[in-house]
Amino acid sequence: MLMLFLLAGCASSLTEEVELPKEKPVLKIYLFAPSSPIITRGNEGDVRASEEEKRISTLDVWVFEHNDAHTPVGYIHLTNQTFEGQKEITMEISDAFAGKDPRPYVDIYVAANVTSSNCGVTLTRDMTPAQLEDVGIGEGYFGVISKVSSVPIDGLPMSGISDKDKGMQVTGVAPVLSAKADNIILVRAVSKIRFILSKSTSNPPEITDLSISLDQGVIPTKEYIFLKGPYPGANCYVSTGSYKEEATLVTGINDSDIASCASPAKYLFGEETGQAYESRIDAGLTEQTVEGVTKPAELSEVGRFYLRESDQKLTGKISYRLGGVLKQPKFEMSSVGDFTRNHTWIVYGYFLGNGNLVLNAVDVKDWDDDEDIGETYNW
């Protein structure tokens, strides 16, 4: 009797169905990281970013329901996310959210390379949209207090945001849902300015104590990581405060630090694309060997800086001494707001043999004649 009871128990257990682990629901999000910064003038086309400038070391993504409560849907933190173009990321979501019918709308915030070491801020998973929109690059980062002349280890800060007015509808069938966000474009939150110099080989003047500075009030004290809306179409987003002092970017440049060129005017901007011009500048900065003959560089890059965006017109001056006499020609961008995030600006200046200086398209024929300053080209 005992044996029959045991056999009956075994037979009963064999007929029961084994419940398999339930697949966790996920939400697929699509990001786009452009390889090129935006051009600031005309239709000259993009200027390519370097591999370092494109690098994404950390990626933080927050998703909220598009409702008055901004109900959190999910958060994900990723590292070593090197990509260019479209990228699909997968975020785990709750069963309750996955089962909603009709499918809800969501708001998505994306930050890349925004860390305490390169922006002075700490991001957390439980941040609200209001808290995210108040996150700004610290005063001592990508500004005039602590100048950034090369890409930091953590990379350049970038951000992207979905259209908060409309929201983005979730689609798909559980457990795999999707929020295909073609308009979530990761945009570098900082811009780049390059100062390029050359001098004529024809009786060049002796140049000493050269420095480059930005005028007071042109760089803000706080730039927000996230724009007010998706990019493009959103203006720069900075606080109203700005640095009240003049910002010296370059000091201690002397004649021996400036490369010579027989025809330095050939490096002025011509009828070409922005990338073609930057490539021509880069070629002039490089020593080249042709048919066994080494040709020295004809240009010198005396300053490269990554700065926060500005809602002001960037202006500044190049100060130096020529024969003991102080000279201070000015340079400026064309318009207010040309130095918004993800832009590149090249300021090229060359010294003529007779002591005159030409600053890109700013031609100062007489150091004492401020009325002879023309328009500059911006990248």
- The Cα–Cα gap between 80 and 120 comes to 20
Classify residue 253: in a domain, yes or no.
yes
Region for 280 from its dihedrals, namely left if φ exceeds 0, alpha if ψ lies in -120 to 50, beta otherwise: alpha
Of the candidates 332, 198, 190, 218, the one whose C-alpha atom is nearest the C-alpha of residue 263 is 198
pLDDT digits (tens, 9 = 90+) for 29-66: 988 766 666 544 444 556 777 888 888 889 999 999 99
- Domain closes at, from 155, 188, 221: 188
- Same structural domain, 168 and 35: yes
Q: What is the pLDDT of residue 84?
A: 63
Q: Which positions of the chain have pLDDT values less than 50? A: 1-8, 10-15, 39-43, 361-379
CATH number assigned to the domain comprising residue 68: 2.60.40
Q: What is the pLDDT of residue 90?
A: 92
Q: What is the pLDDT of residue 1?
A: 47
- Domain containing 329 equals 190-372
CB 222 within 8 A of CB 146: no
Type and span of the H or E element at 8: helix 2-15
Classify residue 377: in a domain, yes or no.
no
- Domain closes at, from 158, 188, 218: 188
- Same structural domain, 338 and 233: yes
Classify residue 12: in a domain, yes or no.
no
- DSSP tag of 23: P
Q: How many CA atoms lie within 13 A of 273 on its CB side?
A: 8
The tokens for 216 are 């007071």
- Domain closes at, from 188, 205, 221: 188
Classify residue 363: in a domain, yes or no.
yes
- Same structural domain, 181 and 145: yes
Classify residue 6: in a domain, yes or no.
no
- Same structural domain, 179 and 203: no
Query: What ranges in the chain are assigned the alpha helix state H?
Result: 2-15, 51-54, 95-98, 116-119, 129-133, 274-284
Classify residue 250: in a domain, yes or no.
yes
- Same structural domain, 224 and 255: yes
- Same structural domain, 174 and 264: no
Q: What is the pLDDT of residue 222?
A: 87
- The Cα–Cα gap between 50 and 342 comes to 13
Of the candidates 271, 231, 237, 249, the one whose C-alpha atom is nearest the C-alpha of residue 315 is 249
- Same structural domain, 231 and 353: yes
Of the candidates 150, 185, 196, 184, the one whose C-alpha atom is nearest the C-alpha of residue 51 is 150
- Same structural domain, 254 and 308: yes
- Same structural domain, 160 and 194: no
Of the candidates 53, 14, 10, the one whose C-alpha atom is nearest the C-alpha of residue 33 is 53
Q: Position of tokens 């350049």?
A: 156
Q: What is the pLDDT of residue 369?
A: 29
- Same structural domain, 164 and 197: no
Q: What is the pLDDT of residue 38?
A: 53
Entry pTM: 0.84
- Same structural domain, 77 and 93: yes
Classify residue 235: in a domain, yes or no.
yes
- Same structural domain, 147 and 206: no
Q: What is the pLDDT of residue 149?
A: 94
Q: What is the pLDDT of residue 334?
A: 75
Number of domains into which the chain is organized: 2
Classify residue 378: in a domain, yes or no.
no
